[in-house]
């Protein structure tokens, strides 16, 4: 033991799970030997929070605020989550999108506090040793990435660790998952991004990405060892490339408790937005036609859940599939291209004329909604938005790519070009827009409305796995929680400030699905919603 760690008090300062800083009471200071090691006055929780806000307000750049919050979390985790929970609207864009994109890009240059596990390809065959080194006695949720498709930024290699860290912060802030029972993981299998391979400060393996059987073996070893140590853990796959995301989900979905947030979480929150839009349009989801700009994980995940939603209204699945169409890098996905298509696109290859012009695709397919998920900015042009307004009394415009620099259009463009007719949602935050005297309040189709609550419900019920029905249940429950006042101002989602009570209700609905379908590993409580709320961690 070093000289500085001889006393209990000094050790308490150095553990973020026990440190309370100036909030240690006089009694605690005496018991722990802290008297004289802290300023005389004892701070209240509120004073601690406001002191941190004052510090944060000194910084203008979001990335600088993120670094301050990073430091706070490394020293006083309880205060970090009190701050984040109390001011979720203000700090979620700092902890996650859009700032997390820059955080990942600069990760190797700003790295200070190790958090989570960095499982390298060099650990193959010895992953158990790495898993055993994790300090967590229990883990309820793991978020894992291989860094290949980070947001709309592409291959970030080990720098992608910023995503699991940010996601798990939201699991706690939005749904009360105990932070001591969360674990971010990055699988470092190399990177194909030359600028990182050439960067002397890059912290990951300096080699091209490992593919094929060796890659699959490392993933399998990680999952096996994680579940060996923590048998009930939920594993969330995050930001894997298309070539791995779909097949990993297909392989593991009905074997272990897991889901892919890019495919399934995004789908759930977007379907929520569509249900909300139906309340404004006073139409049925079975009357809609959805055209996606993009055909990757998010697009096909959303399309699959929209098909489930339409089928749940009594429509034949083959017919329901016709309500969704894809537009990829080569143009409209049609039957003429069927042989060369990836498997996840083939169900949506319809009998239409080929075109590589998105505007022409709109004129041909006549969608009631366009959904941007290709991370290609400014693709919802003036002509595209005008055509959607021409075809529909209330066109649905979802510009979901993030960070903000990748958005297909801005909220202001959507509302002004359609003359206030658009039903708009985005992947990154936009300010309210005033058009002809009316204020529109756009809200993000943000996965944080859904994935933390999905995890909460699944972990609470000790679910065996997470079938697609859970994600549709979550979407329907969230849509029920959008108020008439929200809808009147064009908001298709509730305010993020309500996220904790919203998560309780979604978590209870997801847990109920597990109990109703014999997927739960424990007994159903008499008052499920109350039990879920009591299960949640509160700073």
Residue 96 is among the residues annotated as catalytic for this protein:
yes
| Rounded-to-integer distance, Cα 263 and Cα 249, Å | 9
Show Cβ contacts of residue 63 under 8 Å, excluding neighbours closer than 6 positions.
99, 102, 103, 106
- DSSP, res 424: E
CA atoms within 13 A on the CB side of 262: 29
| Rounded-to-integer distance, Cα 84 and Cα 54, Å | 14
Residue 167 is among the residues annotated as catalytic for this protein:
yes
Strand 443-444 with 234-237, pairing: unpaired
Phi, psi of 372 (to 5 degrees): -95, 120
| Rounded-to-integer distance, Cα 119 and Cα 123, Å | 6
Bridge partners (DSSP) listed for residue 142: 183, 235
Helices H, strands E: what count in the chain? 24, 14
Which residue among the candidates 91, 96, 365, 513 is catalytic per the annotation?
A: 96
Closest residue by Cα to residue 519 from 456, 451, 465, 457: 465
C-alpha distances (whole Å) from 445 to each of 372, 373, 425 are: 12, 12, 6
Q: And the tokens for 367?
A: 């969608």
Which residue among the candidates 65, 167, 345, 477 is catalytic per the annotation?
A: 167
Q: And the tokens for 175?
A: 């749904």
Torsion-angle region of 378 (φ positive above 0: left; ψ -120 to 50: alpha; else: beta): left
Phi, psi of 42 (to 5 degrees): -95, 125
Bridge partners (DSSP) listed for residue 426: 399, 444
- The answer to whether 461 touches 445, Cβ cutoff 8 Å, is no
Exposure of 200 by Cβ count < 10 A (0-12 exposed, 13-18 middle, 19+ buried)? Answer: exposed
Angle between helical axes of 77-86 and 62-75 (0-180°, round to 10): 140
Helices of type H across 15-146: 26-32, 45-56, 62-75, 77-86, 88-95, 99-105, 107-110, 127-133
Q: What is the CA radius of gyration of the chain?
A: 24
- The answer to whether 500 touches 174, Cβ cutoff 8 Å, is yes
The label of the residue with tokens 């009190």 reads: 82
CA atoms within 13 A on the CB side of 461: 28
Closest residue by Cα to residue 111 from 51, 165, 62, 171: 165
| Rounded-to-integer distance, Cα 534 and Cα 520, Å | 18
- The answer to whether 277 touches 455, Cβ cutoff 8 Å, is no
Q: CB count, 10 Å around CB of 419?
A: 12
- Kindly list the catalytic residues: 96, 167
């Amino acid at each position: 033991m070093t000289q500085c760690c001889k006393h209990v008090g000094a050790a308490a300062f150095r553990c973020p799970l026990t440190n309370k800083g100036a909030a240690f009471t006089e009694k605690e200071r005496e018991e722990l030997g802290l008297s004289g090691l802290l300023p005389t006055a004892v701070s209240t929780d509120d004073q601690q929070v406001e002191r941190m806000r004052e510090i944060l307000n000194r910084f203008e750049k979001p990335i600088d605020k993120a670094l301050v919050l990073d430091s706070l979390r490394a020293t006083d985790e309880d205060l970090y989550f009190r701050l984040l929970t109390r001011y979720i609207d203000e700090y979620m864009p700092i902890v996650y999108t859009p700032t997390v994109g820059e955080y990942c890009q600069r990760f190797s240059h700003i790295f200070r506090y190790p958090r989570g596990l960095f499982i390298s390809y060099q650990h193959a065959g010895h992953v158990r040793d790495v898993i055993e080194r994790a300090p967590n006695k229990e883990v309820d949720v793991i978020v894992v990435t291989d860094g290949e498709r980070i947001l709309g930024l592409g291959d970030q290699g080990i720098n992608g660790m910023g995503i699991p860290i940010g996601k798990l912060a939201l699991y706690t802030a939005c749904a009360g998952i105990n932070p001591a029972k969360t674990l971010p993981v990055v699988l470092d299998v190399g990177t194909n991004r030359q600028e990182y391979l050439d960067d002397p400060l890059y912290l990951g393996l300096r080699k091209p990405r490992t593919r094929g059987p060796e890659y699959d073996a490392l993933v399998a070893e990680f999952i096996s060892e994680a579940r060996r140590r923590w048998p009930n853990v939920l594993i969330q796959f995050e930001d894997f490339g298309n070539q791995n995301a779909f097949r990993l989900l297909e392989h593991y979905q009905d074997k272990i408790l897991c889901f892919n947030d890019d495919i399934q979480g995004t789908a759930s929150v977007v379907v929520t937005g569509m249900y909300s839009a139906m309340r404004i349009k006073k139409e049925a989801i079975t009357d809609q036609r959805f055209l996606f700009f993009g055909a990757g994980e998010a697009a096909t995940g959303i399309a699959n859940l929209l098909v489930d939603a339409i089928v749940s209204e009594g429509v034949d699945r083959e017919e329901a599939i016709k309500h969704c169409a894809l537009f990829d890098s080569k143009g409209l996905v049609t039957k003429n291209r069927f042989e060369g298509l990836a498997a996840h696109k083939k169900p949506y290859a319809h009998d239409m004329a080929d075109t590589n012009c998105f505007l022409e695709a709109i004129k041909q397919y006549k969608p009631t909604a366009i959904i941007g998920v290709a991370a290609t900015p400014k693709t919802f042009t003036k002509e595209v938005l005008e055509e959607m307004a021409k075809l529909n009394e209330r066109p649905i415009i979802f510009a979901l790519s993030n960070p903000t620099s990748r958005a297909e259009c801005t909220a202001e463009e959507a509302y002004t070009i359609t003359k206030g007719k658009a039903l708009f949602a985005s992947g990154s935050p936009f300010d309210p827009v005033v058009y002809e005297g009316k204020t529109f309040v756009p809200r993000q189709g943000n996965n944080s409305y859904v994935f933390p609550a999905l995890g909460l419900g699944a972990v609470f019920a000790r679910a065996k796995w997470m079938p697609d029905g859970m994600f549709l249940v979550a979407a329907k429950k969230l849509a029920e929680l959008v108020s008439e006042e929200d809808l009147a101002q064009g908001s298709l989602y509730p305010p993020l400030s309500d996220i904790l009570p919203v998560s309780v209700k979604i978590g209870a609905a997801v847990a109920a699905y597990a109990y109703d379908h014999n997927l739960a590993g424990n007994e159903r409580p008499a008052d499920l919603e109350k039990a879920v709320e009591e299960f949640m961690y509160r700073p």
